[in-house]
Amino acid sequence: MKDLLRLRTSLTEEIEALLNEQIKIEAYSSAVYLAMSSWCNRNGYDNSASYLEKQSYEEREHMMKIFRFVNDMGGRAVSPEITNIPQEFESFRGVFELALQQEIHVSSKINNIADRCFKAKDYMTFQFIQWFLKEQIEEEYVARRILELFDVIGEEGTGRWQIDKNIPKVTYGEEAGEE
């Protein structure tokens, strides 16, 4: 029966497992961003709280995009169990340092999926994953630029207030005025 069911999908077991792992990673990212949003809200960083809430929603959209792809390809997408979400953070800057670390981790996992798809000659999934590779360029860029605000503005005096005010303005590509 297992062999018959496997014929219903062009996804190999390895690729399906990697995609389900990425579903979990995206869900975790969404939950972490939501926890960061709550922390920022409790600490008076309202603009950052709103920005991080939007990031959480975006990560959930990424999760669902992969989830639907696996199901659409005849695979079995797994609803992930998410645990160990941090609720407290060392500092305002620490929130965004963790965000950058999380995005770098996601990028490495997406790169691994692309590599495995290419090696397995699964070009349909390879094409699908291209969107995520491009998305990670933006995610890492924005996270780095936000951290630069801490270096450029500084956190003394009204610095944190200025940083919080500017975080929602950090964008990439055409949104940032690039052509």
Pick the CATH number of 2-176 from 1.20.140.10, 3.50.30.60, 3.40.50.720, 1.20.1260.10: 1.20.1260.10
DSSP secondary-structure letter at 157?
A: T
Count the helix, strand and coil residues of the chain and give each as a percent rounded to the nearest 5: 75, 0, 25
- State the Cα angle at 31 between 17 and 158, rounded to 5°: 140
Q: Are 172 and 137 in contact (CB under 8 A)?
A: yes
pLDDT, residue 173, reads: 78
- Tokens (6 digits) for 132: 């995520």
Q: Are 107 and 135 in contact (CB under 8 A)?
A: no
- CA-atom Rg of the chain in angstroms: 18
For residue 45, which phi and psi values (nearest 5 degrees)?
-100, 70
pLDDT, residue 149, reads: 95
Beta strands in 19-167 (DSSP E): none
User: Per-domain residue ranges for the chain?
Assistant: 2-176
Name the residue with tokens 């997406």: 110
pLDDT, residue 179, reads: 42
For residue 6, which phi and psi values (nearest 5 degrees)?
-60, -30
Round to whole Å and give the CA distance between 77 and 11.
Answer: 11
**Residue in 69, 67, 59 with CA at minimum distance from that of residue 26:** 59
- State the Cα angle at 161 between 45 and 52, rounded to 5°: 35
The model's pTM: 0.89
pLDDT in tens, the chain (179 residues): 455 554 567 889 999 999 999 999 999 999 999 999 999 999 999 999 999 999 999 999 999 999 999 999 999 999 999 999 999 999 999 999 999 999 999 999 999 999 999 999 999 999 999 999 999 999 999 999 999 999 999 988 899 999 999 999 999 876 555 54
